[in-house]
Amino acid sequence: MIEAAMVEFSKQVVHWRDGAEEDWAVAIELVESGRIRHGLFFAHLSLEKTLKALICKNIGELAPPIHNLVRLKEKAGITLNDSQVDLLAEVNEFNIEGRYPELSLPLPLNDEARNYLRKISELLTCLNRLF
């Protein structure tokens, strides 16, 4: 177990934010190329890593090894409106879909996937203002 006193949380924040930015770029590329399942999975990763960066910044703890966006939001101690929390809950499905395709849910159509990217982009912008 890593001792919290030994961790430079500013480096953890940079690590998570850089990963989130890279994953977001990949999400857009994948959805635009028609690889919706993988694109939305990477969109989930981008939100997950942004929330993990906020946990490190706001509470000075290592980000937990969980993927549930609503739980990560709560752990980060941030306030979002109901529609933003609902979006986090919806995007959680893309994490499951990306990791366990045998539990296949119907994939969004191209236009629906682009709409999700638009909403996620707006939420990422909101979250990034908290740094």
Q: Please state the pTM of the whole predicted model.
A: 0.92
On whether the CB atoms of residues 48 and 98 are closer than 8 A, the answer is: no
The number of distinct structural domains making up the chain is: 1
Amino acid identity of residue 113, one-letter, is A
Distances, alpha carbon 120 to alpha carbons 29, 48, 60, 66, 91, in Å: 15, 11, 26, 19, 9
Segment (H or E) for 31: helix 9-32
Look up the domain containing 88 and give its range.
Answer: 7-128
Q: Where residue 45 sits, what CATH number does that domain have? A: 1.20.120.330
Segment (H or E) for 7: none
- Residue-wise pLDDT for 100-126, tens only, equals 767 767 889 999 999 999 999 999 999
- Residue-wise pLDDT for 66-90, tens only, equals 999 999 999 999 999 999 999 999 9
